[in-house]
Structure 1
Amino acid sequence: MAKVAATDETAQTASDPSAPNRVIGRLRRARADVPGRLIFTTSFGLEDQVLTHLIAEAGLAREVSFATLDTGRLFPEVYDLWSETERRYGLSVSAFLPDASSVERMVREQGINGFKASQEARKRCCFLRKLAPLDRALAGAAGWITGLRAGQSEARAATGFIEHDLQRGLTKINPLHDWSREQARLVAQDLGVPVNPLHARGFVSIGCAPCTRAIVPGESERAGRWWWEQDAAKECGLHVGDDGRLVRTRTAEVAL
């Protein structure tokens, strides 16, 4: 497993103008310390857009593979932003789609919106449309860059900069782990980062269109995901499992 050097970095405040440069330093350090292929999975959300910008600023756009999980049920605004992002930064984001025959069988058996019938049905849909494509996207990668933040939910509170995905045998890199959403918003604004217009309409965490709604003041960031379910974790399984813990990972012993 790759070893990443320790630093004296601490959590940044929303008003800290040096925060983007510190993230650039984290990205460069991860590139230097994690041998092999690095892949950044983006959903084109606020954090992922900021990271895309900073990866480009770090001069790593050709060193990192960009990938997204196209579930087939994304908002039109996501596809527009996808195209704009590729054009803006001169890069290509590879799409990983679900297996067509598996999705066809699921729709036959539970209906096009059958995922609302039960949590089991919803998790089946998430597995086919997201988890299985993610495994294909990460195949052969040494490091996985994400836009996870510890403040996104209680389930993600333990998120650190460097984690080891024990099952996949790769290093998970979360350069924005100690940022707040407000900090990400301000940095995106200051740097002119293209963002999804749905954010301005209250859509904070954006997933598949049928499974995402806007939130109201006072609700948690992920309250708009699968809102008909009572499970407070609000996760699809990419990062947090059924027990509400970060899946298949342990945090590396580094000070960041």
Structure 2
Amino acid sequence: MSTTITPVGGAEFAERAAEELEEASAQEIIAWASQTFGDRLCVTSSMADALMVDLVSRQVPGIDVIFLDTGYHFPETIGTRDAVASVYDINLINVEPVRTVVEQDLALGPRLHGRDPGICCHLRKVEPLQRALAPYSAWLTGLRREDSATRRATPVVQWDGRRRMTKVNPIARWTQEEVDSYMAENGVIVNPLQYDGYPSIGCEPCTRRVAPGQDPRSGRWAGTGKTECGIHI
């Protein structure tokens, strides 16, 4: 890990950094984040693939990688997590909700994800991430502007006012072609579900296959009107 650097942040700082780094490469943005935040920097991964892990670990060996283990993941996602932890030079941090799925079912009734996916996501993703990010000053994400309409204005650096920390999105400008090219050229680990009709992978009960040509995220919370888990909105 990098030497600790006095943390900086705030909305104005993030806006200025976003302007200065808008045309920078993903590698340059990651290097800037490492130099700026030192060991108070982490990266989050859903384990749909190891693109961000590959990019970041090349420049910041041993970086903390946060994975939210909701208790509802596909077996393939857990397998991808374990493979990533074995192959890359990272410190995987497996974060679990306060309640197990069984405990949540007993307290709030079974299949909360079907009755109120917003509350389920909050309890099993948003709140655990809030706790996990507490020791850090900044976090790196794999958000891209092409992902969805809600992400089209994603800056490469932004201020996360809810968590009072800087959020860095090194591949915000990347196209799907650039993503595919990087992963192919570098042998990046990919969740096998990506080859089985799941271009966007979340919890098993709330994710379905997507037909060719459909919005990649249309398989998430299909039929509910929900488009985000709440982590990035």
TM-score range, shorter chain: 0.7 to 0.9
Alpha-carbon distance in structure 2 between the residues aligned to 1:221 and 1:85: 23
User: 2:58 corresponds to which residue?
Assistant: 57
| CA distance in structure 2 between the partners assigned to 1:87 and 1:142 by the alignment | 26
Corresponding position of 2:97? 98
Contact 1:24 1:57 in 2 (8 A): no
Q: Which amino acid aligns with 1:220?
A: D
Q: CA deviation at 1:7?
A: 4.2
RMSD (CA atoms): 1.9
- Deviates further, 23-32 or 105-114: 105-114
Asked whether 1:45 is paired with 2:81, we answer no
1:199 aligns with 2:194: yes
Q: Give percent identity, aligned residues only.
A: 33
TM-score (norm 1): 0.79
Alignment counterpart, residue 112 of structure 2, candidates 111, 114, 119 = 114
Structure 1 pair 91–7 and aligned structure 2 pair: CA distance change class (3 A): closer
Aligned residue for 1:70? 69
Cα shift at 1:131: 0.8
| Partner Cα separation in structure 2 for residue 199 and residue 130 of structure 1 | 21
Once the 2 structures are TM-superposed, how far is the Cα of residue 166 of structure 1 from its aligned partner? 1.5
Q: Check 1:24–1:164 CA distance in 2 against 1; reply closer, same or farther (3 A cut).
A: same
1:109 Cα deviation (Å)? 5.3
Q: 1:220 to 1:105 in 2, by over 3 A?
A: same
Aligned to 2:4: none
Q: Which residue of 2 aligns with 1:239?
A: 232
In structure 2, what is the Cα distance between the partners aligned to 1:153 and 1:8? 19
Distance 1:225 1:92 in 2: 29
Q: Which residue does the alignment assign to 2:26?
A: 23
Deviation at 1:115, TM superposition (A): 2.3
Cα drift, residue 108 of structure 1: 2.6
Number of aligned residues: 219
Kindly provide the amino acid, as one letter, of the partner of residue 52 in structure 2.
L
- Show the counterpart of 2:5: none
Hey, what's the Cα distance between the residues in 1 that align with 2:165 and 2:79?
31
Distance 1:164 1:35, change over 3 A: farther
Cα distance between partner residues in 2 of 1:61 and 1:90 = 5
Shift of 1:33: 2.5
- Give the C-alpha shift of residue 65 in structure 1: 1.5
Q: Which amino acid aligns with 1:169?
A: R
Residue 9 in structure 1 maps to residue 23 in structure 2: yes
Which residue of structure 2 lines up, in the alignment, with residue 166 of structure 1? 161
Matched, 1:154 2:153: no
Do 1:145 and 1:174's aligned partners in 2 also have CA atoms closer than 8 Å? yes
More helix per residue:
2
1:4-47 per-position Cα deviation (integer Å, ceiling 9, x unaligned):
3824627xxxxxxxxxxx3222100111123560011111123x
Q: 1:245 corresponds to which residue?
A: none
Instruction: Give the counterpart letter for 2:61 in structure 1.
Output: A
